[in-house]
Amino acid sequence: MEAKIYTEDHEWLAKDGEEWVLGVSMYAQEQLGDVVYVSLPSEGEVFAKGAGLCVIESVKAASDVYAPVGLRVVKVNGSLLDKPELVNEDAEGAGWLVRVVVDGGEEVEGMSEGEYAAKFGN
């Protein structure tokens, strides 16, 4: 997997061959608190940039995760259905949300890990 790219909405993406793995940052999961449920999209679903991709519910609140680019979901992390706390335990590893392909050659934009850490103190 290539280096992660971070978005202003606290998602991370990492290119893995032709697909991208997408999740929420450590900073985001810290803000959420204890995650109790993750509502994942269906495989094959298509999302426009900025559309609500899934919802993460914690003891504090429910938060939407947005599509950072136009994309199609190719795989969801089914482990989160039985063990949503994986988002807290390993947000940037085993707690990934979906694997996607970017729609129409759209460019994935964001910050490097260093830029993200400088901006959000993660």
Closest CA to 10 of 31, 28, 33, 22: 28
Domains, the chain, in order of start with CATH, read 5-106 (2.40.50.100)
Least trusted range by pLDDT, from 28-42, 70-84, 93-107: 93-107
Rg value, the chain, Cα: 13
User: For the whole model, what pTM was predicted?
Assistant: 0.94
Q: What stretches of 33-104 show up as alpha helix (H) in DSSP?
A: 79-82, 86-89
* Mean local confidence (pLDDT), 65-69: 94
- Residue 83's pLDDT is what? 97
Q: Is the pLDDT score of 53 beyond 70?
A: yes
Q: How far apart are CA 106 and CA 116, in angstroms?
A: 22
* Mean local confidence (pLDDT), 69-93: 96
* Residue pLDDT, tens place only, 7-17: 999 999 999 99
- Residue 3's pLDDT is what? 85
Q: Are strands 71-76 and 98-102 parallel, antiparallel or unpaired?
A: antiparallel
* Residue pLDDT, tens place only, 37-46: 999 999 999 9
